[in-house]
Amino acid sequence: MNFDDAIRLTEVLLGFAFALQSIEHFTDCANEKYLFITRFILALALIFGFYTSWVLLLLLVIALAILRRFQGPYNGGADRMSLLILCCLSLSHFLPARHWQEVAFGYLALQLVLSYFISGWVKIINPDWRNGRALCDVFRFSAYPVSKALQHWSKSPRVLLVMSWSVMLFELLFPLSLLSQTSLVIALVIAASFHFANACLFGLNRFFWIWLAAYPSILWFQIRINLVN
Amino acid sequence: MILNTLKLLLPALIPSWNFFDVIAPSPRIEFSLLNSDTDTPTKWHAFRPRPAQLSFRTMLKRMLWNPFWNETLFMMSCAERIMKNPTQSHHSETEILNRIINETLKTKSNKPSSPATHLQFRLLTVQRDNEQLVTEINFESRIQALPKKLSTSGDA
């Protein structure tokens, strides 16, 4: 994937994720609602490539206003990834030299790799994750499972132990997928399935869409750093 | 103002990515409708209790439209902020109070049999102590007057 295509695809996916997020706030109180209606319109402009540079700048201003409004991210990691993509895209548009534009977009790819690797690392150094207890706790008493029926999964420790190790190994080994184009595509499909499962089981739908929006950067980055021909 | 915004922006630009590194005590929100600002809460209601089951179809629908769950996750973040720093959490406390009031306005089933004029919420934490789950009351909010629209309705 070349730089321009990767940037354009990221814009479309980010616009779609922002549009979905914004619609959810249309019934909020007055001030909040207008902020998100404006963001929805800008997200559509981003999807259709209408004055993209200025739209990105305005989206950044709105993102900062939303950060201030909620005194932090509304949806934790998903909002942080949204902001990161938005900042990297904006820099890719406004930085004067192609070299620096690529550095900004490459930073997004690097952070995407780290998002999996560090998540795997912080888990594997925790004994509760290594013996499956942590995932049992997630299902047993955390605020995340979307129904009471899912809490019964905590009574299947062997299954959860296998799931824990599968997640940790996949996250830790993710950087190695950059070694070939096929392995990267397979890794991204597995990663997207992982986010899809999290969205279904824990209601983290925003993570699915926003992480997907960062994938073009890694597909471009792999070719750019000449890891594959 | 600029410094505060930068402080909020920085974790997005240099993220930590330490998702689920430890499974911390999990907050639960309960609220009570009161008849005056000096009333003592006796009956606590769980805020948005989880459904017993959720079909795969509903899960798929929530991939695109999930406002209530996302709002609940935001309220959990507010609850965590309060538990982390109870003395400097006016914003989070107000966010939770306002959202419970909005929900109470929308949901008739939450209205009390007598006309309520005030509302209070509390935060419980659930955590594992060896094999047992332990629940503790962690925080009680200020008592907030309800908007007239709700407090004068009084129907059960």
Q: Which of A71, A84, A205 sits opposite B63 (nearest CB)?
A: A205
Q: What is the pLDDT of residues B34-77, one digit of tens each?
A: 998 888 998 999 999 999 999 999 999 999 999 999 999 999 99
Q: What is the ipTM of this complex?
A: 0.92
Contact A213, A12 (CB under 8 A): no
Q: Answer whether residue A137 is part of any domain.
A: yes
pLDDT band at B4; cut points 50, 70, 90: confident
The tokens for A58 are 């305005």
Average pLDDT over residues A47-65: 96
Q: Answer whether residue A16 is part of any domain.
A: yes
Average pLDDT over residues A191-219: 97
Q: What is the pLDDT of residues A87-127, one digit of tens each?
A: 999 999 999 999 999 999 999 999 999 999 999 999 999 99
Question: Which site among B28, B59, B98, B102 would you substitute to test the A interface, given the most A Cβ atoms closer than 10 Å to its Cβ?
Answer: B59
User: Residue A170: CA atoms inside 13 Å, Cβ hemisphere, count?
Assistant: 18
Percent of all residues in chain B with a pLDDT value above 90, rounded to a whole number: 60
Q: Answer whether residue A63 is part of any domain.
A: yes
pLDDT for position B71: 95
Q: Answer whether residue A202 is part of any domain.
A: yes
pLDDT band at B106; cut points 50, 70, 90: confident
Q: Answer whether residue A229 is part of any domain.
A: no
Show the beta-strand stretches assigned E in chain B. 26-34, 45-46, 118-129, 132-140, 144-145
CB contact under 8 A, B12 and A79: yes
The answer to whether A80 contacts chain B (CB < 8 Å) is yes
pLDDT for position B28: 95
> What is the number of structural domains in chain A?
1
pLDDT for position B7: 86
Residue B124's SS3 state is strand
Domain range for A216 is: 3-224
Q: Which of B15, B63, B77 sits opposite A208 (nearest CB)?
A: B63
The answer to whether B131 contacts chain A (CB < 8 Å) is no
